[in-house]
Amino acid sequence: SRQDNQDPMLEVDASTRLSLVHEINGQVDRLALHDEGGCPYWLGIDLASDTQHFYFGKLGFNLYAGTAGVSLLKAELHEKEILRPESGKPVSSAHLESITRLVEHNDLRLLQKWWSDHPLGLAGAGGAIMSLLELDDLNADPPLGWSSHRQLALALLNGLTPDRLREDPYLDILGGV
């Protein structure tokens, strides 16, 4: 008899688990819409910057309800060589386009506005920074013009001020510090 605390997935053989991973990856790809350049994106409900409201639209690069999760999933599958090379690049630069454009402006006021427009927790800026660092650890190809995802994360941190941290009213992991 199975122990109550044993994970039921452990009872599934490796071949079945691998098949399920490929099925999930295929579903993610099939659900994607594509912009004029052919880059995938998804629509969904996301947490607004006030962490009190939600909105429907094109998902941004955040860990809670955005493309960061898709990027991390695909990077992990490529790193573990679960996805075949012909399945495409693991992380689309399009997922990071708004962040790379922001940082490339090299405008401190724009960076500070980005930090004030996003929650600090996993549902916002914190999740984006954490995702960039994890993509770097997974050896995902960095966006065009960048030597690493870590370099991009550090450039974003230039806009975070001590006042932004002190003024943040949210202390939860999704929205706050």
The letter for the amino acid at 9 is: M
pLDDT score for 3 = 57
**DSSP, residue by residue, the chain:** ---TTS-GGGGS-HHHHHHHHHHHHHHHHHH-EE-TTS-EE-EEEEE-TTSS-EEEEE--S-TTTSHHHHHHHHHHHHHTT-S-GGG--SS-GGGGHHHHHHHHTT-HHHHHHHHHHS-SSTTTHHHHHHHHHHHHHTTPPPPTT-S-HHHHHHHHHTT--HHHHHH----STTT--
Residue 44 corresponds to which tokens in the numbers above?
A: 């969904």
pLDDT band at 136 (very low <50, low <70, confident <90, very high): very high
CA of 169: how far to CAs of 47, 129, 164, 175, in Å? 16, 20, 10, 9
- Average pLDDT (155-164) is 94
What pTM did the predictor assign? 0.78
Beta-carbon contacts of 48 under 8 Å, excluding residues fewer than 6 positions away, are 54, 55
Q: How far is C-alpha 93 from the geometric centre of its chain's CA atoms?
A: 12
How far apart (Å, rounded) are the C-alpha atoms in residues 25 and 27?
A: 5
pLDDT in tens, 71-99: 888 888 888 888 766 555 556 666 788 88
- Listed residue (22, 55, 30, 144) closest to 92, CA to CA: 144
Query: Taking the CB of residue 11, how many other CB atoms lie within 10 A of it?
Result: 9
Residue 138 pLDDT > 80: yes
- Average pLDDT (24-36) is 87
Q: What percent of the chain has pLDDT above 90?
A: 21
